[in-house]
A and B are shown apart, each in its own frame.
Chain A
Amino acid sequence: MSAPSDPAIEMVDVCKDYGSVRAVQNVDLAIAEGEFVVLLGPSGCGKSTLLKLVAGLEDLSSGEVYIGGRLANYLKPGDRDVAMVFQNYALYPHMTVRKNLGFPLHRQRKAKSFVTDRVDFAADLLHLQTELDRYPDELSGGQRQRVALGRAIVREPFAFLMDEPLSNLDALLRVQMRTELLRLHRRVGRTTIYVTHDQTEAMTMADRLVVMRDGVVQQVGPPDDVYDRPVNTYVATFVGARSMNLFEGRVVTANGNRRFEGPFSLDLAADPLSGIADGEIVLGVRPEDVSVCPDGAPGQLTGVVELGERIGGDVYLNVRMPEGNTIVISVDASDKIGEGESLCMQVAQDKLCFFGADGARLSTGGRDS
């Protein structure tokens, strides 16, 4: 177990039961050294539990966890050489910032000068020099968050575990801290497992994304990959600022042309469909892969704008189609499309995703190009 490609943290068939409830099911995951892995999923999907299993704060029901090549199943949390940042910070309220930061080192019986150096280093890194002698209740949310980070950093652990560390901050601060966290990760370069339910955080921060649902890992891969080629309809709807539009229907062949027959009919290009038989499918398309076009071209969808939500430079339009279904499309704010307007829409054929009736992605198709 000494090759450089050895995973820093490895989970093998990890399960966790609470009574009859299986919170984590057969998770296999290998995380490379220095990698920033984000566990993404809705509340209660088992992502925090998985993190606690790695930290040793919960006992495994079955399976194995390796940290740095060592079997960690029976190691106490303190012997695993991992540091954790908690959602609610978990700062010791009866200690000053300085003591909070130095506390893990005092426990390791490090020399006083060493502790001072490390604390100063962390305070420097996180702009906490002026707060060192204050108590946690005298700090703002962002400062507490930084202290919590600092307490993890001073230990120079083998890996960082972060449990929704930004979810208690307000929106602006969250974006700032996100950048700061990433900068820190680049600088410190430690293996990090980061738990969040915020898919913007997940998409922007992750080297690799792990999407979970009901204790089961759905998909593992780089954020782009997960976004462009979701393995099932669940991932397709969960990942992305707006869910992928999904339409149930059938693929039929008529006169040698293949068509999608569902809430609407759509002629399909042959390439993405090769290898997909006629039958029930779910068609998926991202909002940004639908464009507004002048009337008249064949193979277009039509609809009336019901609602527009402006987000930055983009506007997400909920468009009601004649068949009664709604499709969400993204247009540039400068297009100035108002509610109540009728639209013609063109779907980018090469970006379509096809899922089977069971929700799993069909082997061909998708935004592979």
Chain B
Amino acid sequence: MATVKQVEPRPAARGGAAGTNLPREARRAHRRRRLGSTGRHAALAFATLVFVVPFYYVILASVKNSNQIFSYPPKLLPFPVYLGNFKELLGQTQFLRWMLNTLIVAGSVAAIKVLIDSMAGYALAKLQITGKRIIFILMLILLMVPLSALIVPLWSLIRMLGLLDTYWALILPALANPLGVFLMRQFILGLPSDLMNAARLDGMSEFSIYWRIVLPLIKPGLVVLAVIIFTDQYVSFIWPLIATTSNNMELLTVGVANLHARGGVNFGLWSASAVMSLVPIAIVFFALQRQFMSRSLTGALKQ
């Protein structure tokens, strides 16, 4: 736009063809830009549609009764709202209990893991320990072992410990996953060692360095890790299916899957359970989202 304005006086001065050409070119460029942005928006809108439609469909199905779900032509608006699915879910199944179990397990795994992973990460990143490299490599190898290869020995172990069908059976194995340690180590490696040296000279113990200096500085990493672990636990299915036997100890994933087995075909109920299952994870995500933006490291060091 600015170029157009600058060129405008020229035709008066020179009266030539150049004066009329330039605005036309500018207009053309402008049009091209607008076309480009329209195309981009169209692509984004399509992508959004692809992601949103299934959610919308499930939400829609959850507030319809069986007849309405399969009526033709399908109604795209959820009116009239039918709450029977939710009533049935909350009243006639153990849904709330499963939810509680899931929150307890995912919450405690996330909390404990964030703590021990960051501690181990600090040790592996910054402390002088003999065999540090070997420990780290062993952990990386462990990362490559798929869960399915571990399930049988893990189940035997948990059974021998007498922990089957308890919260411990669901929490303990998850704590051993080294992914978090690896992430934390990489994160803490980025912190300048002189910060810890300064703290050591200030007379702080290694633990208080970890607690007062390292933890506050890796807060964004902790939040990311917590979200990853929480969602990972929230949606885990195979191990909870194997480690629990009673309906009372089931997690959401297992319980909801069992609805299919126990109750016969009931799309409305299934949709309602899917919608309800989304609530806590959405809350966790949105609550922690702000924490992603934290005071950056700039200023600690002159880069």
Contacts and interface: CB of A to CB of B under 8 A. Distances in A.
A162 to B, nearest CB: 12
Contacts of B15: none
Contact of B204 (A78, A82, A138): A78
The 5 closest A-B pairs by CB, nearest first: A137-B299, A78-B203, A136-B299, A93-B300, A90-B194
A91 interface: yes
B290 interface: no
A88 B204 CA distance: 20
Interface stretch (A100-108, A204-212, A236-244): A100-108
B198 interface: yes
Contacts of A87: 194
Contact of A86 (B198, B203, B204, B216): B198
Interface of A: 52, 55-57, 76-80, 82-84, 86-94, 103-104, 107-108, 135-139, 141, 144, 151, 155, 168
A92 B302 CA distance: 13
A136 B302 CA distance: 10
A144 B299 contact: yes
Given A88-B194, A90-B195, A92-B195, A57 B201 contact: yes
B194 A78 contact: no
Question: Which residue among B194, B202, B203, B204 has the maximum number of chain A CB atoms within 10 Å of its CB?
Answer: B202
Given A92-B198, A135-B295, 7 more contacts: A57-B197, A84-B201, A89-B301, A93-B295, A93-B298, A135-B299, A155-B202
Interface residues on B, range: 20 to 34
Interface string B196-218: 01111111100000000100110
Interface of B: 192, 194-195, 197-204, 213, 216-217, 295-302
A84 B297 CA distance: 21
Nearest to B204: A107
A228 to B, nearest CB: 36
Contacts, number: 86
B203 A107 contact: yes
B69 to A, nearest CB: 53
Nearest to A84: B201
Contacts of A94: 216-217, 295
Contact of A77 (B194, B195, B200, B302): B200
B217 A93 contact: yes
Contact of A104 (B192, B195, B202, B216): B202
28 contacts: A57-B200, A57-B201, A76-B203, A77-B201, A78-B200, A78-B204, A82-B201, A83-B201, A84-B197, A86-B194, A86-B197, A88-B302, A89-B302, A90-B197, A90-B301, A91-B300, A92-B195, A92-B300, A93-B217, A94-B216, A104-B202, A104-B203, A107-B202, A108-B203, A135-B299, A136-B300, A137-B298, A141-B302
A265 to B, nearest CB: 52
A186 B197 CA distance: 27
Contacts of B299: 91, 93, 135-139, 144
Contacts of B300: 88-93, 136-137
B301 to A, nearest CB: 4
A138 B301 CA distance: 12
Question: Which residue among B197, B201, B296 has the maximum number of chain A CB atoms within 10 Å of its CB?
Answer: B201
Contacts of A93: 217, 295-300
Question: Which residue among A92, A139, A141 has the maximum number of chain B CB atoms within 10 Å of its CB?
Answer: A92
A91 B216 CA distance: 14
Given A92-B195, A135-B295, A137-B296, A76 B200 contact: yes
